[in-house]
Structure 1
Amino acid sequence: MSPDQILALIAALTGEPDPEAFARLKAGGADPAYPVTVTPCTRPVAPTEIDGRTVVCGRVEVPYDHGDPEGRTISIAFNLYKAHSLSPEPDPVIYLHGGPGDGTVSRVAGTIGFFEHLRARRDIIAIDERGVDTSAPEMDCYATLGDQLGPVAQSQTGPAVPTLEQDFIKGCLAELDARGIDYSLINTEQNAMDVPAVMSALGYDSYNIYGISYGTKLAMEVLRQDPPGIRSAIIDGNAPPWLPLYSSFWQSHSDPIRTSLEPCERDPVCNAAYPDIVDRTFELFETLDAEPVEGASGPVDINVLYEIINNRVTPRGDYSAMTPYIPLMVKQLEQGETTIVDQWAAGELPPKPAAGSAETVRSAALAAGLSDAEMAQVDAMLAAAEHIRIAEDTVTRAAQLLESDLDADARNTGLAEVFDAKLAAAIEALPEPADRIAAVRAYLDLRFAEPSADRLAALAADHFAPDTAAELEGLARQLDQDSLARVFDLVRIDNQATVDTVEGSFQTYLYACQEDLSDGWNSLQKFRETMAADGSWGPVMQEAMAQGLTSFFAACELFPKHPRENWTEVGKTDVPVLSMNGELDTQTAVSWGALSVQDYTQATLVVVPESGHGTIRFSQCARDITAAFVEAPTGELDTSCIENLRLPVMLPDGTMHPLPY
C-alpha cells in the first residue's frame, strides 16, 4: 500500500459516510419486485475494502417459489464490490460459489481476492445461494442442535460420534417440516431464477457469470433458463448435471494421473524411460497394498502413494510440484527403492523456489561472482525489501485494528464483550458436563429472544452458583440498550458457529440428495459399476473409494427425492462460454469440462496443467485468460500461456527432460 493509499484509507475509515455512495441501493434497489436492504458488511473489511465506499453488503428479497411471485420470500445476501475504474463497464461479474454450502458473503476481504483481476473495469457481485449460510438463516436447525449438544460436545473434545451427522440430518429435516419450510424449493432451478432477480435488484441490465464447482452447475442451469442480460459465462471446475457426477466421482482421482502422465507416454524419450507409466502407476497402488516398501520414514504403502499423488493440489488451494518426480518414483517403488519418497517425506521434494528467501537470493548472488561493492548493493536491496514487508504487514494489521475499534465505538460494544467472556468462563467452570450442556443450550436459545437484561439475569440464576449469578446479573444490569443488543448479536454468532461444526454437508445434501439422486441417476451401485467398467483403478482402490462415499449415499437416503424435469438433458446455449479445467483437479474431473460444453455453440475449452479446482486460485495464466475472455467474449482468445505450465520430467539419470504440452 502506497503512502497516498494509506492516507486515503485513514480518511475513509474516520470520515463521515458519503450519503451518495450506493444511494440507489440504500433507497431500496432498482427493481421494486425485489427489494434491497443494505446492511453492514461482515468484518474484517479493511484494509482491502471500505464498507459503504468500495463495497456494499445487503440482502435482496426474492420469491421463495418463483412460480408464486406473490407468496413468501427468501432473502439472498450479497456483496457488491465497486470496479476500480471511475468509468466502469456496465456489465459486472457475478460469482456463483461451490458446494452448495460454505457461502462467500461473510468473507468480504477474502472473496474479492480471487476476482481482483476482473475488477479493473467491472463491479463484482458475490452472493450466498439460497439456503446457504447468510441466505435464509431460517434453514438453520437450532432446536436439533440443542437436542444434540451432548454428542456435539463429545465430538469436539474427544472421539467423533459416528451417528452424529445422520442424527442431525434426521432431526433437522423434522424441524424444518415442523416449521412448515418447503425445502424442496432449495434447488438449483429456483437458485438459478434468483440470479437474474438479484442482478435486476442491483440495477444491472447485462452481466457476466463466473461459476466454480457447484457454481458451474448453477451457471449451466441459468444458461438453460436463458434469462435476458447474460453477456458471457465462465465455468471453472465443471460439474454438469447431465453427468451422473456422484456415480463418477472416482474420475476426479484417476483423471489427474492420466492427464499429468500421458504427456510422458507421448514423448519418445520419456516413454522409453518409463513405458506404460500410466497403467504402471495405477497398478502400483495394488502392489503397495499387498506389499509395502520399507522407507527411511517407515513403510511406503498405498496411503503414502495416494497422498503424494492426490495432494499435489488440495481443496484449500495448496500446490505441490511433485509431477516431474512421479515416473521415477513409480519405477523405484516397483524395484523396492524409496529415494524419491524419502526426499518427499524429508521436505526436500519438490525443491523450494530459488527466490524463496533472502538467504537463497544472497547465496545466488554470491555464486554469480559479484564484487564486494555489488554485494553491498544486494544487501541494501534485501534489507529494504524486508522493511517493506514488515511495513505492509504493520499497515494491514493496524488498519484492521482501527476498523475494529471504530466499529466497537460505534456500537458501544466493550461491555458486551466483557459480559460474553464472563458468561463463557462461568459455563466452562461448571464441574458437571450435563450442567455445562444445559447452560450452553439456554445460552443458545437466547437467539430467539428480544434483548433483555432480565433474560440474562434469569439464565445466570438458573445455571450458576449464587455468587457467580450475582456477578453476571450485575454486569447485565450495566448494559445499555446498544450493549444488550450486541450481547444477543454475539449469541446469534455463537449459534451459527456451533451449527457450522455439526451441520457439515447438510447444505450440499439439500441440493444433491433431492435432485441428483432421484430416479437412480446417482447411486453407490452405479459408482461401483462405472468404476469397475473403466478399469483404471484396481480392486483395492475401487473398494476404498466406494467406502469413502458410503456415508454420503447413506445420508441421501434420509431425504425425499424431487425429480427435476429436463435436469439430466444436455444443456444448450448460444452465449459465449469459457470452460476452465485444472489437470490435477481432484473434485471435478478434468474430462468433465468438454462434456459440459458439448452442445454450446460458442464454447472455448481450456485445460490448465498443474492446476487444481478453480484454476484462478493456482495460475496467473488462468487469471489472464479469464480476464481477456470477459473483456471480449466473442473475440479470439490467446491461451498460449498454458504451454509454459507443463513441467519437465526427471529421467532415471537425474536430469530434467522437457515435455510437450
Structure 2
Amino acid sequence: MRRFITFAVLAVFVFVSSTMVTKGQNSGVPQALSAETIPCPMTLPEGDVDGETMVCGQIQVPENWDNPAGRTIVVTYAIAKAFNDAPFPDPIIYFEGGPGISALEEIEALVGYTQRLRQTRDIIFFDQRGIRYSSNLECPPEIRNREVPFEIPEGVDPAALEATLSSVSLDSDLAALLEAFRVIGPAHEDVNCAPYFAEQGIDLDQYGTYQNALDAIALMGALSYPSYNLYAISYGTTHTLEVMRYYDEHPSSALPQIRSVLIDGVIPISVDWIVNNTLGLPTIILGAFSACEQDAVCSANYPNIRQRAIDLLASVEAAPLVIDDTTTIALGDLRTVLGSAAGHADSNIYLPRLIDELERGEISVYSRLRDGTLPVPAASSPQLSNPLDSTSQEANDLASQARTLADGIEALAAQNQRLSDAYQRGLTLPEFFAEEFADAAEQITSSSRSLLSGFLRDIAIVPPDRQTLVDHVNLMPDSERDLLVSLLNLMNDEDIAQVFAILSDPLYAERLVLSFHISQTVIHCNDRVFDMNRAFEMLRGFEVPQLLDLTGIEGQFALNCEVYGLVTTDIPPLVSNTSGFPVLVVNGTLDDRTPLIWGEAVYGNLQNARMLTFPQSVHGATMDSQCAMDVTNAFFMYPDAELNAACIEGMRPVFVLPDEELPPAAE
C-alpha cells in the first residue's frame, strides 16, 4: 500500500531498547511499569521498514490499575514515522474500533487511509488490552468449541418459545421474552471459556474501556512526545471519550498533553447495546427524507415528504397496500425495500419518488428497488475466475441438472480433498459454500470480520444477490477465495437464495464473528448496562416505530455477562470536556452502526467542540471521501481555526424527480 518512503531520523521522543521501569505511580497519572522496543509482530505495509519507518514496542501495565504490584499485561504499539525530515512534534494516536479489532493487524489499511496525515506527523497505532498483540484474551478452540448440552426445560412449550423469540415487537411481554432468552441460554463459547479464563488467573473485571483509557494515557506518557492529537472511529470514540473523562476528573499538569481530539462514528459508553443496532437503519431512512426537505428542488417536487413517508408507513401497518390482484405491500415488505435502499448513495436518491408513487398506487420504483434492478450496475458482474477451469464447464452443465455435489462434483473432487469430503457427505452446493465461507472467515482480519458481522446482521433486509456474495468472498484470503468463487460460478439463483437463508441463521452468524466475540463481550459487559425494560422504553419513544426491526435484538447479552460474572449497573453521564481540548465530532448520514443521534448527543454536551456531518458517507466517514479526509487533515493542522468544509455541499444527494425517466434494467 505504501508507494514511497521518505524516512527522516528526527527523534522527538527518547526511547531505548532496554526495559525502563518506573518507581511508582504518581497520584492520578497512570504510568507504565516498563517499556521496550520490539521487532514489529505484524506484517508491515509495503515499503515500511521495521525499526526505521515503523517502530514497534510494548509497555507493561498492571492488569488491575488499583493493584500495580499484581498481575501485569502488555500493550503493544507501532509508530508509523512521518514522511518528513522535520515532522511536527505532536503525533496522532489512533484509537481503533470494535471493540475487539486489532489496529496492528489492520496496519496496512490504516496507514493507507492516514497517509496524508503521515506526511507531517508520526502516527501511533496500538492494540487495546485483551486484543491480538496486547495480552490477547484467547480461548483455545478445543475449549471454546466444546458442545454444550441443551434441553428445553420441562413445562416449557417449544412452539410457544419459538413464537416468543421470532415475533419480538414493542408490544412483547418483556417478562416472557426475558424468560425465553434465559431458556436459550448464553453463547456456548462464553459458557466454555469463562472457567478457562478463571483458571488462568485472568481478572476479566479489568478488561473494560476505563482500563483501556488508563493504558492509553500510560502509553502516551511512556513515549514522551510533548503533546498528542487523538483520532478515533467507532468504539475508538468510546475509548477516547473515557480518556477525556479521566482528564476532566483528574486534572493534572503531569498528565500527557492533548492538543486536539477527533471522534468519528460516535458511541458513548452510556448507550444501551441492546438497542444500538436497532436504531441505525431507521435513522438513515428518515435521514434520506430529511435531506430531500433540505434541498430546494427535491422539497419543491416532494413537499413534506418526511411526514408523508411516516404517514404511509402507519397506513400500511394498519392495512397492507393493495396495488392490484397480484401485488400487495405489507409493512415488512416496505420496510425491507426502504432499508435496503437507504444505506447506499446510489439508491437512496429514489426514496422520495418511491413514497410519492406508492401514495398514488404506482410501484415502478418500488418494484425496481425490490428486485435489485435499481440502481443499474455500471457494468455487468464480472465473470469470476475459476481455478478449476478444466472441469468448470462440465460442472456448470451438471449443476444445471442437479443441485447436490453428489450429482456432479466428481471431476472437481479429484482436485480438492475438501470437495471430495463434501461429495461423500452429500452436501448441497449452498451448504458446502457456507461451510467453506465460515472456515475461510477464521483466517481473515478482525476488521474484515467486522464487515461480515455487519452484513450478517442486516442480511434479513438484503435481497439475495450473487454480487453481494462476491463482494464478501473478496474479503477472504487468496488461498481460500478461488474455491469459493468457483462454487459461486456453479450456482443458480435458487442456490444463491439458499446461501442467504443459511447465512441468516443466528448460529451461523455467531460462528463467523467468533474471533472477537469474547473480547467484545467482556468489554461491553464491563462498560454497559443491559436492561431490557430500559431498552424497550427507549424504543417505544422512537418517532417511527414501524421502521424498527426487533428480530435481532441482543436479548442474550446480559446472560453472556452473567456467565463471566460481569454485571454493570452504573450509567455514567456524557463527557463534558471541561479540560477544553478542541474537539471535532464527525458523523456520516449513511452510518448504520453508530447512528447520527449518538454523535449529536455527545456533541451537545461537549465544551469547545464542533460537529460536521458528511452526506452520503458510511461508518468511519473521515476515511470515506476525499472531502472528509481533507477536512480531517485541516483540523489536525489547525484545530483552533475555523474549518473550511465547503466541500460538503458537493456531497449532498441529488434526488430523482417525478418526471425523470428511470434507467432501463440491465440485460
Quickly name the TM-score band, shorter chain normalised.
Answer: 0.5 to 0.7
Counterpart pick for 2:617 among 611, 620, 626? 611
In structure 2, runs of 5+ residues without a counterpart are 23-31, 151-182, 248-254, 381-416, 426-509, 663-667
* d(CA) in 2 for partners of 1:293, 1:125: 58
**Structure 1 residues 631-650: aligned runs within 5 Å:** 631-650=637-656
Instruction: Establish whether residue 598 from structure 1 lines up as the match of residue 604 from structure 2.
Output: yes
* d(CA) in 1 for partners of 2:585, 2:193: 37
Instruction: Render the CA deviation track for 1:343-371: whole Å, top value 9, x for unaligned.
Output: 44666533567xx99xxxxxxxxxxxxxx
Letter in 2 for 1:213: S
**Structure 1 residues 515-594: aligned runs within 5 Å:** 515-517=527-529, 522-538=530-546, 541-542=547-548, 544-545=549-550, 547-563=552-568, 567-573=572-578, 574-594=580-600
**Structure 1 residues 231-630: aligned runs within 5 Å:** 231-244=259-272, 246-247=274-275, 249-267=277-295, 270-282=298-310, 284=312, 291=320, 305-306=334-335, 308-311=337-340, 319-344=344-369, 349-350=374-375, 502-517=514-529, 522-538=530-546, 541-542=547-548, 544-545=549-550, 547-563=552-568, 567-573=572-578, 574-630=580-636
Letter in 1 for 2:535: F
* d(CA) in 1 for partners of 2:517, 2:65: 26
Give the conservation status (yes or no) of the 8 Å contact 1:66–1:190: yes
* Paired position in structure 1 for 2:461: none
Letter in 2 for 1:536: V
* Paired position in structure 2 for 1:40: 40
Instruction: Render the CA deviation track for 1:471-506: whole Å, top value 9, x for unaligned.
Output: xxxxxxxxxxxxxxxxxxxxxxxxxxx998634522
Equivalent residue pairs, number: 492
| SS of residue in 1 equivalent to 2:616 | coil
Instruction: Render the CA deviation track for 1:22-70: whole Å, top value 9, x for unaligned.
Output: 9945344797733224133423x34253333322334322221222223
> What's the CA shift for 1:219?
0.5
* d(CA) in 1 for partners of 2:559, 2:137: 25
> What's the CA shift for 1:309?
4.1
> What's the CA shift for 1:147?
2.7
> What's the CA shift for 1:313?
7.9
Instruction: Render the CA deviation track for 1:415-436: whole Å, top value 9, x for unaligned.
Output: xxxxxxxxx99x989x99xxxx
* d(CA) in 2 for partners of 1:30, 1:344: 62
Give the conservation status (yes or no) of the 8 Å contact 2:575–2:606: no
> What's the CA shift for 1:236?
0.3
* d(CA) in 2 for partners of 1:167, 1:211: 32
* Paired position in structure 2 for 1:178: 199
Task: Specify whether residues 288 and 552 from structure 1 end up closer, same or farther in structure 2 by C-alpha distance, changes over 3 A only.
Answer: farther
Task: Specify whether residues 291 and 85 from structure 1 end up closer, same or farther in structure 2 by C-alpha distance, changes over 3 A only.
Answer: same
> What's the CA shift for 1:203?
3.5
| SS of residue in 1 equivalent to 2:143 | helix
Task: Specify whether residues 178 and 231 from structure 1 end up closer, same or farther in structure 2 by C-alpha distance, changes over 3 A only.
Answer: same
Task: Specify whether residues 505 and 46 from structure 1 end up closer, same or farther in structure 2 by C-alpha distance, changes over 3 A only.
Answer: closer
| SS of residue in 2 equivalent to 1:549 | coil
> What's the CA shift for 1:516?
0.7
* Paired position in structure 2 for 1:206: 227
| SS of residue in 2 equivalent to 1:505 | helix
Letter in 2 for 1:66: W
* Paired position in structure 2 for 1:130: 129
| SS of residue in 2 equivalent to 1:596 | helix
Letter in 1 for 2:33: A
Instruction: Render the CA deviation track for 1:607-660: whole Å, top value 9, x for unaligned.
Output: 11111211123221111111111111111211221122111222211189xxxx
* Paired position in structure 2 for 1:370: none
Seq. identity, %: 29
* d(CA) in 1 for partners of 2:36, 2:336: 47
Task: Specify whether residues 24 and 133 from structure 1 end up closer, same or farther in structure 2 by C-alpha distance, changes over 3 A only.
Answer: same
Task: Specify whether residues 30 and 46 from structure 1 end up closer, same or farther in structure 2 by C-alpha distance, changes over 3 A only.
Answer: farther
In structure 1, runs of 5+ residues without a counterpart are 13-17, 152-161, 358-423, 433-497, 657-661
Q: Give the TM-score taking structure 1 as reference length.
A: 0.65
Counterpart pick for 2:208 among 180, 187, 212? 187
> What's the CA shift for 1:298?
9.8
Is the helix fraction higher in 1 or 2? 1
> What's the CA shift for 1:294?
8.5
> What's the CA shift for 1:210?
0.8
Letter in 2 for 1:605: M
Letter in 1 for 2:518: F
* Paired position in structure 2 for 1:94: 93
